Amino acid sequence: MNPGNMPFRFPRLETVLAIAFATVAAVAVLRPSASAVEPSKVATVDLEKVFTSLKRYEAGLAKLKSLGETLEAQAKSAESKVRELQGELENFKDGSKEQADALGKLQNAAGELRAVQQFVGAKLEVEKSRTLRDTYLAIKDAVRRLAEREGLDYILLDDSVVEMDPANASNTMSQISARRFLYASPKRDVTNQLIGLMNEEWKDAK
């Protein structure tokens, strides 16, 4: 029979399926699967060590100490005035006008002393909070830049290095429950790198 006159025959179903399977398999080999995601790169930091090792934080504490000494001097001056007026009060006759005037001055001085003491306490707390907050924000910014430089996806706080305060059973369990790390490999710790980066930048800024 003339091949040109032969009737057209559809490929068998088994052949079509085999060709389709082979095509899909080839595409799968040549193109990576969408689910093949690169593992995240994670590191840890000892935050307490960072705080206590930073020149920035050290300078902040020095300012706090100086402020505290200034405020304490003001409180002592007000206290000395109260004591002085208390001593003068004994020199006046009971019921005399002089005694009444001295008593009024003493009450005013005592009120000023309480106001100064309250101001000193509040002012120091505000400045301590500001120093901690500013240092923490600086650490966060430095952590971000360090992560970008080292190609890290996450930098986590390693709370497994912090010693627990020996207390009663309830407080101890609360401390245990608050922990997020049972173990962190020292190989993944970037604490010293972070400290070095921040201290170098602090030195350059001076």
User: Could you tell me if residue 168 is inside a domain?
Assistant: yes
Provide the pLDDT for residue 87. 84
As for how many domains the chain has, the answer is 1
User: Could you tell me if residue 15 is inside a domain?
Assistant: no
User: Could you tell me if residue 76 is inside a domain?
Assistant: yes
Name the residue type at position 70: T
User: Could you tell me if residue 45 is inside a domain?
Assistant: yes
Provide the pLDDT for residue 13. 46
For residue 55, pLDDT over 90 is answered with yes
pLDDT digits (tens, 9 = 90+) for 156-167: 998 887 787 777
Across 7-16, 100-109, 122-131, least confident range: 7-16
HSE-up (13 A, CA, CB side) for residue 107: 6
Output helix, strand, coil percentages for the chain, rounded to the nearest 5.
Answer: 70, 5, 25
pLDDT digits (tens, 9 = 90+) for 96-118: 888 888 888 888 888 888 998 89
Q: Which residues contact 189 (CB under 8 A, 6 or more apart)?
A: 43, 44, 45, 46, 158
Helix (H, G, I), strand (E, B) or coil at 154: strand
For residue 75, pLDDT over 80 is answered with yes
Q: Which range of residues forms the domain containing residue 117?
A: 41-205
User: Could you tell me if residue 23 is inside a domain?
Assistant: no
User: Could you tell me if residue 1 is inside a domain?
Assistant: no
Provide the pLDDT for residue 27. 45
User: Could you tell me if residue 123 is inside a domain?
Assistant: yes
∠ CA 65-68-73, rounded to 5°: 130
User: Could you tell me if residue 5 is inside a domain?
Assistant: no
pTM above 0.85, yes or no: no
Q: What is the mean pLDDT of residues 114-139?
A: 93
- Could you give the CA distance from residue 100 to residue 103 in angstroms, rounded to a whole number? 5
16 confidence band (pLDDT: 50, 70, 90): very low
Provide the pLDDT for residue 187. 92
